[in-house]
Amino acid sequence: MRQGWRWFGPEAPVTLDDVRQTGATTIVSSLHQVPIGRAWTEREVANRKSMIEATPAGRSSLTWSVVESIPIPDAVKRTGGRAKTEIEAWIASLEAVAACDIPIVCYNFMPVVDWTRTDLDYETPTGATAMRFDQERFAAFDLFVLQRQGAGDDYSRDDQDRARRVYEAMSDEEIAEITRIITSALPGSTTEPLTIPGFRDKLDSYAGIDAAKLRQNLIEFLQAVTPAAEARGVKLTLHPDDPPRSLFGLPRIASSASDYAALFDAVRSPANGMCYCTGSLGVRADNDLPAIARRFASRIHFAHLRATKREGDGRSFHESAHLEGDVDMVAVLKELVVEDRKRQVKDQIVFRSDHGHRMLDDLTKTVTPGYPAIGRMRGLAELRGILHALDAIPS
């Protein structure tokens, strides 16, 4: 398996030399500066690739192997194959990536909001901080800040009462902060920042789109783009919903094994693959992570390895250390190693340690939320240790 690292570009606090010191050799990156929906050019991709792979004298080499992500415009999620202009632009971006010999593209199909948290610096017992999704704070935002039409139907009376108490205890600064976190798009997001009125309008645009319709729209998108990907040797990897359940009354369609099975059955191209994210899938207690890895092994080309810890209400969770929480990382890696041993070197699974704790010196530095250097390096070291142990066991 190839050890990857998400890099947000030349303006990011973590530099390429920092990445080299972690031991990672494969870069996961994107053209975050390009507006969503505008086709990437081969020149833009080549310039970023040169920046990553032009190795200074005496330095370890790095390879850009995964694009995360080429954002899918909202029109595709709402109208599927009818969004012909947007799909053509997406294929043009894919072709630019393929022309630069980058073999894996990650994407997601979450409507309106991408990955969602309510706290970016939740203090853990060690003094490090983690990202957290607090169900009561989320409900307080949905019901009393956003004031989403019909939100009351999604919460029990007890849920609403608790959310009201949480909201009434919030200061103006806390309300502004949770609004910023939820509506402003977290790092790497493939959705656009929104104001509260804009958020309501965007939700209204999904009226009448249920899970079946959203899934059909994704299938139509895949039917349009996978021939181009397959012809150019690019693997498309769908990231799970995060968290893997409905938010704001919107459908989610990449949350479970049955969700992925439906997509693989509908679009059988070998280019139609999976980004296996243990943290996102692990939020649901009914997701058997080793079984999912075993079932879809041949479809897994890219893996986000992190652990989440479900809290007492079963809906709140926080990012745990990589070998803690509710993810059996040893069992997961056993399954991935079995698959990886079957592959040629060029087709090995790329993984990256995802979402590290903010700890040590990073507590006093400017960091990208969810992507501090030290916490991710700790996670990568732990994962690497498991892999070394598994490599010592004969196949």
List, for residues 265-322, the tens digit of each pLDDT value.
Answer: 999 999 999 999 999 999 999 999 999 999 999 999 999 999 999 999 999 999 999 9
Domain that holds residue 139: 119-200
Active-site choice (74, 107, 239, 322): 239
HEC per residue, the chain? CEEEEECCCCCCCCCHHHHHHHCCCEEEECCCCCCCCCCCCHHHHHHHHHHHHCCCCCCCCCEEEEEECCCCCHHHHHHHHHCHHHHHHHHHHHHHHHHCCCCEEEECCCCCCCCCCCEEEEECCCCCEEEEECHHHHHHHHHHHCCCCCHHHHCCHHHHHHHHHHHHHCCHHHHHHHHHHHHCCCCCCCCCCCCHHHHHHHHHCCCCCCHHHHHHHHHHHHHHHHHHHHHCCCEEEECCCCCCCCECCECCCCCCHHHHHHHHHHCCCCCEEEEEEHHHHHCCCCCCHHHHHHHCHHHEEEEEECEEEECCCCCCEEEECCCCCCCCHHHHHHHHHHHHCCCCHHHCCEEEECCCCECHHHHHCCCCCCCCHHHHHHHHHHHHHHHHHHHCCCC
pLDDT of 191 > 80? The answer is no
Task: Tell whether the model's pLDDT for residue 190 goes beyond 80.
Answer: no
Confidence of residue 363 (pLDDT cuts 50, 70, 90): very high
User: How many independent structural domains does the chain possess?
Assistant: 2
Has residue 208 been placed in a domain? no
Q: 253 and 313, same structural domain?
A: yes
The confidence score (pLDDT) of residue 185 equals 65
Q: Is the pLDDT of residue 29 over 70?
A: yes
What is the pLDDT confidence band of residue 128, given thresholds at 50, 70 and 90? very high
Tell which of 148, 177, 200 closes a domain: 200
**pLDDT(89) > 80:** yes
Statement to judge: residues 139 and 104 lie in one domain: no
12 and 76 housed in the same domain: yes
167 is catalytic: no
Highest mean pLDDT among 45-49, 54-58, 190-194 belongs to 45-49
Domain identity same for 160 and 288? no
The predicted model gives 205-220 an average pLDDT of 97
Mean pLDDT of 111-126: 95
Model confidence at 188, pLDDT cuts 50, 70, 90, reads: low
The answer, yes or no, to whether residue 395 has pLDDT greater than 80, is no
Residue 205 within any structural domain of the chain: no
> Is pLDDT of 393 > 90?
no
Q: Which of 304, 318, 322, 357 is catalytic?
A: 304
Catalytic residue among 142, 259, 354, 362: 354
Is 322 annotated as catalytic? no
What number is the average pLDDT over the span 374-383?
Answer: 98
* Residue 73 and residue 222 in one domain: yes
Q: Is 304 a catalytic residue?
A: yes
Indicate whether 100 and 163 sit together in one domain. no
Q: Do 219 and 191 fall within a single domain?
A: no
Could you tell me the pLDDT band of residue 228, with boundaries at 50, 70 and 90?
very high
Average pLDDT over residues 211-237: 98
**pLDDT score of 65:** 98
The pLDDT of 202-215, averaged and rounded, is: 96
Of 200, 229, 261, which marks where a domain is finished? 200
Catalytic, 354? Answer yes
Residue 206 counted as domain residue: no
| 173-180 average pLDDT score | 95
What's the mean per-residue pLDDT of the chain? Answer: 96
Q: Is 355 a catalytic residue?
A: yes
Same domain, 234 and 195: no
CATH number at residue 74: 3.20.20.150
277 in active site: yes
Residue among 106, 260, 277, 326 flagged as catalytic? 277
Considering Cα of 239, then 254, then 182, then 358, what sign does the dihedral take?
negative
Question: Does the residue 52 lie in any domain?
Answer: yes
- From 322, 355, 357, 362, the catalytic residue: 355
